[in-house]
Structure 1
Amino acid sequence: MKVAIVGSGPRGLSVLERMAARLAESPVESPVDESPVAESLEIYLIDSHQVGSGRIWRTDQPSWFLMNTVADEVSAFSGQPDGGPARPGAGPSLAQWWSAGDPHCPGPNSYAPRALHGRYMQFVLRTIEENLPEKVRLIPVKATVNTLRRTGDGYLLALEEGAHLTVDRVVLTTGHTTPELTGTQARLAAFAEEHPHLRHIAGDSAADMPLDAVPAGSAVGVLGLGLSFYDVLAAFTEGRGGVFEDDGDGGLVYRPSGREPVIVAGSRSGMPLPARGRNQKHHDHRYDHVLFTTERVLAHSRHGALSFADDALPWLLAEVELVYYAMTLTGRHGPGRAAAFEAEVVAAAENGVPDVVEIAAGYGLGDVPRIDLDEQARPFAGRHFDSPEEFRRALTAAIADDLAHAEAGNVDDPLKAALDVIRDSRAVIRALVDFGGLTPDSHREDFLGWYVQRSSFLAAGPPRTRLRQVRALLDCGVLRIAGPGTRFLPDAASGRFAVHSPYVADSRVLVDTVVDARVPTPDVRLDPHPLTRSLREQGIWTSYVNHGADGGRFDTGGVAVTEAPFHPLDRAGRPDEGLYVLGIPTEHTRWFMQGGSSRPGFWTDFVQNADAIAADVTAPVLTSSAQLAA
């Protein structure tokens, strides 16, 4: 039997690790062969960039590109070390591996460079290969798969390098791609083509953007203030020889190299992505929901398919508020008072969504400002500023406030603890929204249009040091943030790009380069990669359409798949049971498929998904072994 895994980033590696673990576990006592695998198995691990790390995590990228999850919460093994040697199903977390091999490791709550995580993945790959059963062979293939076609009893993969490969099953974990440009970005790119002195750099991983081509001292507009913004900022500063130094007062000072461009950035919010709270949680911490559970939401819903705004969001906000006020009570009066408050809230939930704010007021918390996700995600909404300097003062104050909350920690600080609930609620949300759990309108408007934007802003922040760097760059003038609602437009009169915020007077700046520092939204309909186009043209991949009972529809752009083990559905809705699709291509059919790791200590759905595919892929080999043993 031959199996191909196309894409060897975290998802592909996780499938391989679970396959290896299952193949090493003998389901029977076999007198025929000491190996649990009687039939030979060849596994082709294929990647166009670096086999075992993939493009995003490849080991040759600069060290200034950081992860946004602490190392102690990251593992590519599906089980923790158990006293024996590292092997599939039992191996060290990123933090454990890092600390064992580097005497200068800054500790488990540190944020590792992405290249270092790539090296960890290489260690995991070697561990898998060294522990494969005798009749299983892993074959790394550095190549690009351009087409996939069905044969009589398998699949033919055509590689860009001219080779062909015939296999029985294929696991597609192809990860991030760069979609075709549309809308404003297409107009900006076209304007740059008409003016050779201009540059438009499309959204992608910052390690793959041609940022070195931006001249020192030139004006560059950066669209987006999320995680990719911090990467672009690092490339333009640390990557150009600049140095951040401790100012002796908990902040940073930036010493320019003179090779930096002048950066003018902006976004809808005008606020850089807030920092993650200082981690105070053990790596196997699990938040137990008491209000926002699938059972409560479904029991109180009034529809077949859910309205996210009406049926799910009120329970989620109640859970967020519960943690917020409970942690405030703990800080003021101790855990006993907080426990009594929580018990009263939970009792009230038997009759529907409880009024957590009103109950909190009864505990003396009427003076505590309530959490409003809109205000948190859009801190400057409704405000106008008379000058860029006035906005800069408001921005630096907002950054200082966020850093104070983040430094207090993700347990001790009520706000950061409450916002962590959003992150901890992803699995509950997936159970409610995946595979058309919402009405088409609610899926498009309430969930993707409103909630996902805010949750991405509030629950996926960078390390605290990144926000300190932003403040230092604002102070020295290397960075300017234009303001909320920033617009990036071609300016025919000047032959340059114009950047301005309509809410900040005199904010207009002309720039020669625009960098789209946003993670591209996956959409199978706009993906120009030859493999995706081949699968689409053959009808093997289709875009998932959420059909409503009232005739409404929402074409999501995510690959349509079955539930586990995630076979793609063709144009007639039939599953191809020799193919599996996992991760980013299925985004919007399922939600938050960009998650890149599991946590040590328990199986998240990241590992559960990989194991479901591994179980199905290896079943014929293990069944053959069991039959021979009988």
Structure 2
Amino acid sequence: MKVAIVGSGPRGLSVLERMAARLAASPVDEATDIYLIDSHQIGSGRIWRTDQPEWFLMNTVADEVSAFSGQPDGGPARPGAGPSLAQWWSAEEPAKYPGPNSYAPRALHGRYMQFILRTIEENLPENVRLIPVKATVDALTRTADGYHLTLREGAHLTADRVVLTTGHTTPELTGNQRRLAAFAEQHPQLRYIAGDSAADMPLDSAPAGSTVGVLGLGLSFYDVMAALTEGRGGIFEDDGNGGLVYRPSGDEPVIVAGSRSAMPLPARGRNQKHHDYRYDHALFTTERILAHSRHGEISFADDAVPWLLAEVELVYYATTLTSRYGPGKSAAFEAEVVAAAEAGVPDVVAIAAGYGLDDVPRIDLDGQARPFAGRHFDSPEHFERALTDALAADLAHAEAGNVDDPLKAALDVIRDSRAVIRALVDFAGLTPTSHREDFLGWYVPRSSFLAAGPPRSRLQQVTALLDCGLLRIAGPDTRFLPDAASGRFAVHSPYVAGSKVLVDTVVDARIPTPDVRLDPHPLTRSLREQGIWTSYVNHGADGDRFDTGGVAVTEAPFHPVDNAGTPDEGLYVLGIPTEHTRWFMQGGSSRPGFWTDFVQNADAIAADVTAPVLATSAPVQLGV
């Protein structure tokens, strides 16, 4: 049998690791070739390749990351049992390892993935070969007995089964992106740098001393910021007061950044949780939401959000009670809230008031995600003072920790609720309107903002750059527009008087939204033109429909559904191409100690792919 895995980033490597574990657990009846294909670095892919600069960091602590589907068991590392990223890091680079709860450079994670790949290769059964292929797959066609893959480099491959884990691509520009890019083409002195991984952006093209507009203040903003500061030779140093000071090299540009919220993505709370910590939901459960649903299909706003907010409030007030009075009073409060939930969504705020917490401000997700909404500022200096106060407040919450600080502990519930939410929304679990407006339009941006933040050091760096004048944040609802009168780009906030700045470079620091309809990659076009890949449509009972832009797939093992509505049972699609058919497909790792959906998805594909060549079914132990 011949199997091709196209894309060897975290998803592809996880499928390979589970295939290898299954192939090692049972006799293999037939010689098997596995082609691992990647256009960049085989085993690490593009985003995690090992030659990128060390200043690009992960946003999950290394202790919570593993590419093995099982923990070390005293034997040698092998598929199904191996070290987490932190364990490998501490053993591989003991002098450089900063200790528990540290954030690794992405390049180091790429080196960890190379270790996984070597471990897999060294432990394959004798009649199984792993064949690395560095190439770009530009086309895939069905044949009478399998699939034919056309490689850009001129070669061809045939396979009986193909796993497509192709990851991030760069979609076509739309709307204001296209307008900015066209304006730059008309003015040779200007540069528009489209959204992508910062390691692949031509950021060196921005001259020292020039002014660079950066669109977006999410995770990619921090990468762009690092590249234009540390990447230009500058140094962040301890200021002696728990913060940082920046020492410029003189080669930096001035950064003028902005977004709708005008608040850089808040920091993750200092990690106080064990790597195999699992949050046990008391209120926000799939069963409870379905039982209380008033709709044939789920409305996210009506049926899910009230329970999720109640869960967030429960943790917020319980943590506050623990900090004030100890765990006893907190336990009584939690029990009363859970008992009240038998009759419907409990009024957590009212119950908390009965425990003496009526002085504690409520959590407002909109207010947390848009802290400057509705405010006007009479000068850039006025806004910067408000921003600096907001950054200081967030850093104080983050330093207190994700267990001890009520706010950060509560917001961690959003992160810990992803699996419940996927169970509700995947494969058209919501009405089309609710999917489009309530979930993708309202919840996802707030969830991404509040529950996926960077290390605390990144916000300290923002403060240091604001202090030295190399970073300005324009203000709420920042606009990036062509300015015909000057022949330059204009950056300004309509809520900050005097905020307009002219720049010669605009960097789009937002992660492109996957959409199979807008993806210009030749492989995607080939699959769409043949009808092998189609865009998943959420059809409502009332005739409403939402074309999601995600690749239509079956439930596990995720076969693509063609334009005739037929699953192709020799093909599998996992990860980013299926975003919006399923949710949060950009997650790049699993957790040590138990199987998240990440490994469960990979194993479902591995089980189906290897079934024809195994004499007996390989055992699976979920959660170990």
| TM-score in terms of structure 2 length | 0.98
- Asked if 1:8 corresponds to 2:11, the answer is no
- Asked if 1:589 corresponds to 2:581, the answer is yes
Aligned residue identity for 1:431 = A
Say if 2:7 and 2:164, in contact at 8 Å, map to a contact too: yes
Corresponding residue SS for 2:67 = coil
1:465 corresponds to which of 448, 457, 463 = 457
Per-residue CA deviations over 1:162-188 (Å, capped at 9, x if unaligned) read 000000000000000000000000000
Q: Distance in 1 between matches of 2:521 and 2:450?
A: 32
Q: Distance in 1 between matches of 2:343 and 2:127?
A: 59
2:502 corresponds to which of 510, 517, 535 = 510
Q: 1:304 Cα shift?
A: 1.8
Match of 2:490 in 1: 498
Per-residue CA deviations over 1:428-455 (Å, capped at 9, x if unaligned) read 0000000000000000000000000000
Q: Distance in 2 between matches of 1:304 and 1:37?
A: 47
- Asked if 1:40 corresponds to 2:34, the answer is no
Q: Distance in 2 between matches of 1:625 and 1:573?
A: 30
Aligned residue identity for 2:23 = L
Match of 1:101 in 2: 92
Q: Distance in 2 between matches of 1:115 and 1:467?
A: 21
Corresponding residue SS for 2:541 = coil
- Asked if 1:155 corresponds to 2:147, the answer is yes
Match of 2:69 in 1: 78
Q: Distance in 2 between matches of 1:138 and 1:286?
A: 35
Q: Distance in 2 between matches of 1:286 and 1:484?
A: 36
Match of 1:62 in 2: 53
Query: Percent identity among equivalent residues?
Result: 88
Q: 1:625 Cα shift?
A: 9.5
Corresponding residue SS for 1:86 = coil
Aligned residue identity for 1:515 = V
Per-residue CA deviations over 1:341-368 (Å, capped at 9, x if unaligned) read 0000000000000000000000000000
2:325 corresponds to which of 320, 329, 333 = 333
Aligned residue identity for 1:617 = V
Q: Distance in 1 between matches of 2:570 and 2:28?
A: 20
Say if 1:278 and 1:408, in contact at 8 Å, map to a contact too: yes
Q: Distance in 2 between matches of 1:88 and 1:240?
A: 40
Match of 1:29 in 2: none
Q: Distance in 1 between matches of 2:253 and 2:378?
A: 26
2:225 corresponds to which of 216, 226, 233 = 233
Structure 1 outlier segments of 4+, above 4 Å:
623-626
2:287 corresponds to which of 292, 295, 307 = 295
Corresponding residue SS for 1:484 = coil
Say if 2:611 and 2:617, in contact at 8 Å, map to a contact too: no
Match of 1:90 in 2: 81
Q: Distance in 2 between matches of 1:540 and 1:234?
A: 41
For structure 2, the residue ranges without an aligned partner over 5 or more in a row are 619-624
Per-residue CA deviations over 1:504-551 (Å, capped at 9, x if unaligned) read 000000000000000000000000000000000000000000000000
Aligned residue identity for 2:81 = A
Taking the TM superposition and a 5 Å limit, the aligned residue runs for 1:181-580 are: 181-580=173-572
Corresponding residue SS for 2:526 = helix
Q: Distance in 1 between matches of 2:82 and 2:339?
A: 42
Aligned residue identity for 2:51 = D
Q: Distance in 2 between matches of 1:263 and 1:603?
A: 41
Corresponding residue SS for 1:590 = coil
Aligned residue identity for 2:21 = A
RMSD: 0.8
Match of 2:157 in 1: 165
Q: Distance in 1 between matches of 2:363 and 2:563?
A: 45
Say if 1:38 and 1:625, in contact at 8 Å, map to a contact too: no
Residues 611/624 of structure 1: CA separation in 2 closer, same or farther (3 Å cut): closer
Per-residue CA deviations over 1:4-46 (Å, capped at 9, x if unaligned) read 00000000000000000001112xxxxxxxxx11210000000
Q: 1:101 Cα shift?
A: 1.2
Residues 425/625 of structure 1: CA separation in 2 closer, same or farther (3 Å cut): closer
Q: Distance in 1 between matches of 2:617 and 2:178?
A: 55
- Asked if 1:130 corresponds to 2:122, the answer is yes
Match of 2:20 in 1: 20
Q: Distance in 2 between matches of 1:176 and 1:354?
A: 41
For structure 1, the residue ranges without an aligned partner over 5 or more in a row are 27-35
Aligned residue identity for 1:270 = A
Q: Distance in 2 between matches of 1:216 and 1:525?
A: 38
Q: Distance in 1 between matches of 2:469 and 2:363?
A: 33
Q: Distance in 1 between matches of 2:206 and 2:612?
A: 54
Taking the TM superposition and a 5 Å limit, the aligned residue runs for 1:593-608 are: 593-608=585-600
Aligned residue identity for 1:39 = E
Per-residue CA deviations over 1:37-76 (Å, capped at 9, x if unaligned) read 1210000000000000000000000000000000000000
Q: 1:102 Cα shift?
A: 1.1
Q: 1:592 Cα shift?
A: 0.2
Say if 1:211 and 1:235, in contact at 8 Å, map to a contact too: yes
Q: Distance in 2 between matches of 1:281 and 1:454?
A: 23
Aligned residue identity for 2:74 = G
Mean alpha-carbon deviation: is it higher for 136-145 or for 615-624? 615-624
Corresponding residue SS for 2:475 = strand
Q: Distance in 2 between matches of 1:90 and 1:493?
A: 63
Say if 1:522 and 1:584, in contact at 8 Å, map to a contact too: yes
1:615 corresponds to which of 607, 611, 614 = 607
Aligned residue identity for 2:2 = K
Q: Distance in 2 between matches of 1:568 and 1:216?
A: 48
Paired residues, number: 617
Match of 1:30 in 2: none
Say if 2:43 and 2:117, in contact at 8 Å, map to a contact too: yes
Corresponding residue SS for 1:608 = helix
- Asked if 1:116 corresponds to 2:105, the answer is no
Aligned residue identity for 1:66 = L
Q: Distance in 2 between matches of 1:476 and 1:570?
A: 56
Q: Distance in 2 between matches of 1:532 and 1:374?
A: 37
Say if 1:6 and 1:171, in contact at 8 Å, map to a contact too: yes
Match of 1:33 in 2: none
Aligned residue identity for 1:15 = V
Q: 1:226 Cα shift?
A: 0.3
